[in-house]
Amino acid sequence: MKLVVAVVQDQDSNRLSNALTKNDFRATKLASTGGFLRSGNTTFLIGVEDDLVPKLLDLIRENCRSREQMVAPVSPMGGNADSYIPYPVEVEVGGATIFVLPIEQFHHF
């Protein structure tokens, strides 16, 4: 058994949640915030049998696309102002960051 932790952008959250439900995967959703852009994310915790991990990863890949977006950088707080860019820049956002962890035991009460 594996625990899949998938961090996805909020824009992809509902689409992925619906796809997981439709394909009989149970997930717990947690609100989270990205450290780099300080934007909203959703973290999914999904327990899955080893042989279903590839199917789950394909499902996440199909529903979480990366995209280009203009963002205003966060001003430095006590940091070096020399590297601060005061105008919006285009960055790649979205997609998914996924961790697959082994599970020694699983209990459901």
Closest CA to 27 of 12, 10, 47: 47
- Give the helix/strand (H/E) hosting 108: none
Give pLDDT, residue 5.
Answer: 97
Q: What is the pLDDT of residues 70-89, one digit of tens each?
A: 666 655 555 555 555 567 76
71 phi and psi, to 5 degrees?
-130, 145
Q: Which is more confident, 93 or 1?
A: 1
pTM over 0.85: no
Cα–Cα dist 27/9, whole Å: 16
Q: What is the pLDDT of residues 15-54, one digit of tens each?
A: 999 999 999 999 999 998 776 556 678 999 999 999 999 9
Cα–Cα dist 7/32, whole Å: 8
